[in-house]
Amino acid sequence: MPFVVVENCIRCKYTDCVEVCPVDCFHEGPNFLVIDPDECIDCTLCEPECPAKAIYPEDDVPAGQENFIALNAELAKEWPVITTRKDPLPDAAEWDGRTGKLPELKR
């Protein structure tokens, strides 16, 4: 069961999670990260590293955010792999915890 990055990552993009991933399954977009479900080995290392609490096992994705399962799979095919931690987006703290951020997603 792969892990999924959900809405709270949008406009935050903390990358603490990518450094602990042993299989390099994270992909980076302009203001969001995704996990490639075909590469994720369900090791659980990334979930506790996310300051925004935006990573969930596929079966535990919060209600109303199930669309992020397909979105992660789709964007992982388009975006490059990220393996090194970067600074979060400059206004990440302001966006952390907000809801309704899907329209803010940049592809």
Judged against a pLDDT cut of 90, whether residue 8 lies above it is answered with yes
In sequence order, which residues have a C-beta less than 8 Å from that of residue 77 and are 6 or more positions away? 36
Domain ranges of the chain: 3-89
**Which pair of structure tokens corresponds to residue 12?**
């935050």
Q: pLDDT band at 6, cuts 50/70/90?
A: very high
Q: What is the mean pLDDT of residues 65-75?
A: 98
pLDDT the model gives residue 9: 98
Q: What is the mean pLDDT of residues 57-75?
A: 98
Residue 67 to residue 51: CA distance in whole angstroms: 22
Residue 25 to residue 65: CA distance in whole angstroms: 20
Alpha helices in the chain (DSSP H): 16-20, 67-76, 92-95
Beta partners for 55?
5
Rounded to the nearest integer, the mean pLDDT of the chain is: 97
pLDDT the model gives residue 50: 98
Question: What digits encode the pLDDT tens for the residues 24-60?
Answer: 999 999 999 999 999 999 999 999 999 999 999 999 9
Q: What is the mean pLDDT of residues 77-105?
A: 97
pLDDT the model gives residue 1: 85
What CATH architecture is 3-89? 2-Layer Sandwich (3.30)
- Which single residue is written with the structure tokens 């990220």? 82
